[in-house]
Structure 1
Amino acid sequence: MSTNNKIKELRAETSLTQEKFSQYYGVPKRTLENWETGRREPPSYIVRWLERLIDIDFKQ
């Protein structure tokens, strides 16, 4: 799975819109859009960071 798809999958797990997700995690909405559409590749450390935060915030 590409990191772009992983970002989209992580956001889906939260049930947040792109706008709400960007506000909640402090990621600019345009950046999130670029990651999800494949225009830009998110750094792997960001993907791991979001995975950890989502585990804490949404899976407990």
Structure 2
Amino acid sequence: MEEKKYTADGMNIEVDKYEDKKIRERRIMAYAFKMIREESGMNRKDFAEWLGIPYRTMQEWELGRRAMPKYVLDLISYKVQNEKKEGRI
């Protein structure tokens, strides 16, 4: 199987060339979201509470079972980066 590399928020992600485009995009977003959460140092429950997002929604995004809007990922990434810079997380 041939794989193709994508970059999401500075992270390289390899996906199967034949994967459906929507599934591939959802998988990339899920991986990027998980990396952002891990960068925050929080577990899923704490991260969901910190963001004010229902735990189940966040879990579905992270597992790639539900599509996350790109702008939401960008906003969460921005918040985590700024909070880390300010030393709040």
Give TM-score, length-normalised by structure 2.
0.63
Q: Radius of gyration: which is bigger?
A: 2
**Richer in strand (by share):** 2
Determine the C-alpha separation between the residues in 2 that align with 1:31 and 1:59.
27
What stretches of structure 1 of length at least 5 have no aligned partner? none
Equivalenced residue count is 60
Taking structure 1 as the reference length, the TM-score comes to: 0.91
* Relative contact order higher in (CA < 8 Å, ≥ 6 apart): 1
Query: Structure 1 segments of 4 or more deviating over 3 A?
Result: none
Structure with bigger helix share is: 1
* Identity within the alignment, %: 27
CA–CA separation in structure 2 for the residues paired with 1:39 and 1:59: 31
Alignment RMSD: 1.0
Whether 2:14 is the aligned partner of 1:10: answer: no
Letter in 2 for 1:14: S
| Selected match of 2:70 from 44, 47, 51 | 44
Unaligned 5+ residue runs, structure 2? 1-12, 14-27
